[in-house]
Structure 1
Amino acid sequence: MPSAAEALAAFAVDLSYETLPPEVVHKAKQLLLDTLGCAFGGYLSEPSQMTRATVRNLGGVPEATIIGTGDRTSSANAALANCVMVRYLDFMDIYRSKDGCHPSENIPTALAVAERQKRNGRDLLVAIVLGFEVQQRFADAIPCHHLDWHHVTAAGYVTPVVAGKLMNLDREQIANAIGIGGCHNHALADLLGEWWAGTGQISMMKAIGYGFGSQSGITAAMLAEQGFTGPKTIIESFNRVVAQNQDLTPIIKGDDHFKILDTSLKSFPSEYLSQSPIEVLLALAKENDIDPAKVKSIHVRANTRASILVKDSSYYPQTRESADHSIPYCLAMALIDRELSPAQFIREQWNDPRVIELMRKVSFSVDPEFDRMFPKARPCVVTVTMQSGAVYERRIDHPRGSPGNPMTDAEIQNKFAKLSAPLMSNGQIERIVDTVNSLDRLDDVGELMALTVV
């Protein structure tokens, strides 16, 4: 019987543009545009600047483009730098099953290798769908966070498949690449620092975790191309030693549809379990013209998993990374500013006395009914009690951007435009949107990457 790596390699080799349904191609284009927008939004961040400076010092064959600067370096290093930009804002996609993950973190690998190999737009779309499929299969099978491992661990198994596909590796080579990449790149849940235990803050490592796996995964594919071998049973080994013998059928056989269709996009730059409460509170604020200074309490009722965002440390975030993983902070800022965008995180507003006071008024409880609905739905109820005694309450089951309440093309393009506008003209924004929308007619991915230079 073939190993899981061999099964994934066979799937990768057999996948072609012709096998992709129109709705899958459309979703891949939406997610590519969303991911590029997140990269532009994270371009000026400190972690992104530090990573670009490091990559510049490392040097490398000029074969792939770093988004924004236009610097050219090795595909492995370009994937690393671009992955940090994509991840920084926590504004990218999300998929939740046994584990959560951000499959769009595979797009920097696909872009870098596609440019290196001079692939066309259809090749890129296939690689994007493939990356989503493999990572989401892992999330269906292995509950990394429940085992105190971080989901970026999957990068070592997924990115070699994406890179190998674009490099035209055969089944044997891709299986070896998975074995090579899977031998390292494992990340403990404490990648998120003491925040994971509820006692500290999240560091910049959140932005770069998958990037290291991407850099290594491309190298693994290059080694396999040369005939370098790896343990093809590495997934089974990880399952036995770390994952406590989970059923690997979801990885080996997949589902009855392409998993990319199950991916959610985000309306707000924050952890995905905060999306429903933020959306509900903003609706209540708009409907009732709620004055933050006159609020007595804000109560959130949601699923057990969401409780990770209301730990003790969630009430005193001291880093951008901790703030976007705090329901109290996100709700306080959303109510005060009537929005939650990247602007609500750039001035260290967590030190504002008004924000601190409002955060203290946020409470949380678990609803067993919502646990039964999760993760297919992300229900929550937000109750705002005013000092006057007035009570406002609303429930939502599917936040905007989820498969049960999808964003329109116009909404995704508007999100992209808002994230990109500080860096480029409207004309450049339109050219990128048009290129992504017609990606299946693009002859060379390098043409798209040239448009990302600001």
Structure 2
Amino acid sequence: AGYDVFAVIEPAVRVAQRERGLDHKGQAGTLASAITAGVAMGLDAERLAHALALAMDMACGTEQYVWDAGLCDTKDLLAGYGARNGIYAAQLAAFGFQGPPGALDGPYGYYHAFGDGYDPAYLEPLGKRFALAETGFKPHAGCRHVHACVDAALELLKGGRPAPEDIVAIEVGTYRSAMTPDFRVNYHPENEGQAGFSLPVAVSVALTRGSWYREDIEAYDEPEIRRLRHLVKVYLDEEIEAAYPEKNGCVVRVRTKDGREYVGRVDYAKGEPENMLTDAEFEAKFRRLVGDLLPPAQVDRILELTSRLEEVPDVGELVRLTVRGKKR
């Protein structure tokens, strides 16, 4: 339900919010969180509506963190704010608090205040399309716009792994939104936050380390990676640009000292519905992310429960398992 609500709110305000610098996670994400929490709590339709309306007034967040990458922590916090505020809105509604009836379509409602106005057509997909099936999942760290570049580099490595010291030229062909503004083609990042948005860094790290997790991004200034990123030429690939945003592909070409050329290409970044992670890849990502936070037995139990979530009588057990040392 939360995905479906997000899908009828965020697309309608996307352009206006980009222009105003607003963050979608903390904005539409808050409303989606309220519905998710309300459904889980068993709220009736009237109280669900109040939860959504209350969440509208808690929606928050800007994307200034993009321009101040590495100098603030709000990028990750905003997702937490959205989840927390949505749950709080649902709790308030359950207690009896009421939100404004015009929270979405009123003169000062969400579509007007945070977008360019309301159109009843925005809500027509509800109950007809299921957004979860159309949602992408990030397999890597950093900015989503660098992921296709990472995936293309990993595809290239499948056809032969050129020694980093033998590489003399790297080309990255991508779509316009992946290479603008300028911080997306940053050859001189000053910190890992800036590095996470940089295509030259992403392709250099992927070719050298074979992955793009946080610890990989932290290696952005190692000598070999620093050398490689200055060999990168980023250009607009007209074919890939023409297919965007339906596709978010990338092509990577590497030339070595002996004249050999290696090429990797993807039409969709890994994790898009058309190029979805396998169950094994989802599990591997989860294990890697929580491996130093939870004991193996708890990790195994979480995976076992989530594999049959619809049969779990008490979701509280799953929540308790996310705390170190809690087995039940």
- For this structure pair, what is the TM-score category when the shorter chain's length is used for normalisation? 0.7 to 0.9
| CA distance in 2: counterparts of 1:327 and 1:217, whole angstroms | 34
**8 Å CA contact retained: 2:2, 2:36:** yes
CA shift, 1:297, in A, is 2.2
Quote the residue 1:269 is aligned against: 141
CA pair 361-310 structure 1, distance change in 2 beyond 3 A: farther
The residue number in structure 1 matching 2:33 is 159
Q: Distance in 2 between matches of 1:243 and 1:150?
A: 12
Deviation of 1:182 after TM superposition, in Å, equals: 1.0
* Closer/same/farther in 2, CA of residues 213 and 312 from structure 1, 3 Å limit: closer
Which residue of 220, 228, 238 maps to 2:110? 238
| Structure 2 counterpart of 1:140 | 11
User: Which residue number in structure 2 is paired with residue 415 of structure 1?
Assistant: 285
The answer as to whether partners of 1:141 and 1:248 remain within 8 angstroms in 2 is no
- Given candidates 220, 228, 231, the residue that maps to 1:358 is 228
Q: How many angstroms apart in 2 are the aligned matches of 1:416 and 1:162?
A: 22
Aligned to 1:307: 179
Give the 5 Å matches for 1:131-280: 131-143=2-14, 144-152=17-25, 153-194=27-68, 201=70, 203-236=72-105, 237-245=109-117, 247=119, 249-254=121-126, 256-280=128-152
Number of aligned residues: 318
The separation in 2 between residues aligned to 1:248 and 1:387, in whole angstroms, is 60
2:174–2:249: 8 Å Cα contact kept in structure 1?
A: yes
Tell me the equivalent position of 1:316: 188
**Identical aligned pairs, as a percentage?**
26
Change (3 A) 1:344 1:312: closer
Cα distance per residue 1:203-245 (max 9 Å; x no partner): 2110101222322222222222333222222223332243123
Deviation at 1:318, TM superposition (A): 3.5
CA distance in 1 between partners of 2:211 and 2:89 (Å): 43
Could you give the per-residue CA deviations for residues 114-136 of structure 1, whole angstroms, max 9, x where no partner exists?
A: xxxxxxxxxxxxxxxx1222123
Contact 1:182 1:234 in 2 (8 A): yes
Distance change in 2, residues 1:244/1:250 (3 Å):
closer
Go from structure 1 to structure 2 and tell me whether the alpha carbon gap of 1:299 and 1:255 turns closer, same or farther (over 3 Å shift): farther
Distance 1:371 1:139, change over 3 A: farther
Unaligned runs of 5+ in 2: none
Give distance in 1, aligned partners of 2:243 and 2:93.
Answer: 43
CA separation in 2, counterparts of 1:407 and 1:419?
Answer: 16
Q: What secondary structure, in the 3-state scheme, does the structure 2 residue paired with 1:351 have?
A: coil
User: Structure 1 residues 163, 133: closer, same or farther in 2, change over 3 A?
Assistant: same
Query: CA offset at residue 322 of structure 1?
Result: 2.7
Match of 1:3 in 2: none
Structure 1: runs of 5+ lacking an equivalent: 1-129, 196-200
Spell out, residue by residue over 1:256-284, the C-alpha distance to the aligned partner (whole angstroms, 9 max, x if none).
Answer: 43110112223322322222211221232
SS in 1 for 2:275: coil
Structure 2 CA distance for partners of 1:256 and 1:362, relative to 1, 3 Å:
farther
Q: 1:419 to 1:212 in 2, by over 3 A?
A: closer
Q: TM-score, normalised by structure 2?
A: 0.86
The answer to whether the 8 A contact 2:152-2:252 is kept is: yes
Q: 1:159 to 1:425 in 2, by over 3 A?
A: closer
CA deviation vs aligned residue, 1:141-172 (integer Å, no higher than 9, x gap): 22132442211211332222222222332322
Equivalent residue, structure 1, for 2:206? 334
Any residues of structure 2 matched to 1:51-200 within 5 Å, and which? Answer: 130-143=1-14, 144-152=17-25, 153-194=27-68
Cα distance in 2 for residues equivalent to 1:226 and 1:426: 39
1:413 CA displacement: 1.8
Counterparts of 1:419 and 1:226 in 2: how far apart (Å)? Answer: 36
1:432-443 map, 5 Å? 432-443=302-313
Q: In structure 2, how many angstroms separate the alpha carbons of the residues matched to 1:453 and 1:223? A: 26
